[in-house]
Amino acid sequence: MPFVTTPDGVEIYYTEQGTGQPVVFSHGWPLSSDAWQVELKKFADAGYRAIAHDRRGHGRSEKTYSGNDMDTYCRDLNAVVEALDLRDIILIGHSTGGGEVVRYAAQYGQPQGRVAKVVTAGAVPPIMVKSDANPDGLPIEVFDGIRAGVLSDASQFWKDLSESFFGANHGRDVSQGAKDDFWRQGMLVNLAAAYDCVKAFSETDFTEDLKALTVPILICQGDDDQIVPIKDAALKSIKLVKDGTLKVYEGAPHGIQGDYQQKLDADILEWIKN
């Protein structure tokens, strides 16, 4: 299997398909590059070099106890990009991965001249947790509850979370297979990495990263996202970027699945061509 070694010695797994302009996908928590299997084929079929990596501690990457924070995730992504010498990159990130690609683009990709465009879907920026500076955010108790669930019975927690992740609890048609695959990917993540990543996706402030972006960004989100509320995410992020396009999907959940996935992929392919 292909791996890249980060500056601090961690083995990061990646997969790629196709040739052409590179499209780099960054997955959400607690998933892996497997979450992008459909997109890897679709984008490769469309003439792109589609690449996805497993974040440290997730999937087939090294099971890490340390470095499970957003700055380190971005350094890891930079290690992959440099090892493959990628240029003119389209960055696509979902959920936690949306935060990762925004920070990577602002702090690495743009200064190095490597990034052409950014796409986020259900992404965590600007910041999720409630504070005096972010009174509309989710209370810290929400994230404490997630940590407690991961620590006490991760297997059952992933099963329960799949219901709201894909919107099955709101009546969306979600197969048992999709829920099972969410559970499978969740069970691959190292417990320490899963636990620490909650702080990374909920407490990292991406405000300045969004403001620093000069490349075009497509910000996508479902208006029935139960994991990352759209009013605290896409609707705020679009006001902070210089060259942004907002796409809201009526009734769509957090998880990229079903008709939402089909529409989202088609819209992204169309947007990056223009």
The 10s digit of each residue's pLDDT in 158-184 is: 999 999 999 999 999 999 999 999 999
Q: Give pLDDT, residue 112.
A: 94
Distance CA 266, CA 259 (A): 11
Q: Indicate the pTM of the whole model.
A: 0.97
Residue among 33, 61, 95, 202 flagged as catalytic: 95
Domains of the chain: 3-273 (3.40.50.1820)
pLDDT band at 231 (very low <50, low <70, confident <90, very high): very high
225 has catalytic annotation: yes
Q: Give pLDDT, residue 32.
A: 98
254 has catalytic annotation: yes
Please check whether residue 16 is in contact with residue 35, taking contact to mean a CB–CB distance below 8 angstroms: no
Mean pLDDT of the 116-123 span: 98
Residue 159 has a CB neighbour count (10 Å cut-off) of 15
What is the pairing mode between strands 244-249 and 217-222? parallel
Cβ neighbours of residue 56 closer than 8 Å, sequence gap 6 or more: 6, 10, 12, 62, 64, 67, 68, 72, 73, 76, 193
Mean pLDDT of the 259-272 span: 98
Q: Give pLDDT, residue 108.
A: 97
* DSSP SS3 for 6: coil
Q: Give pLDDT, residue 8.
A: 96
Q: Give pLDDT, residue 1.
A: 66
Residue among 225, 232, 237, 265 flagged as catalytic: 225
pLDDT band at 140 (very low <50, low <70, confident <90, very high): very high
Q: HSE of 237 in the Cβ direction (CA atoms, 13 Å)?
A: 36
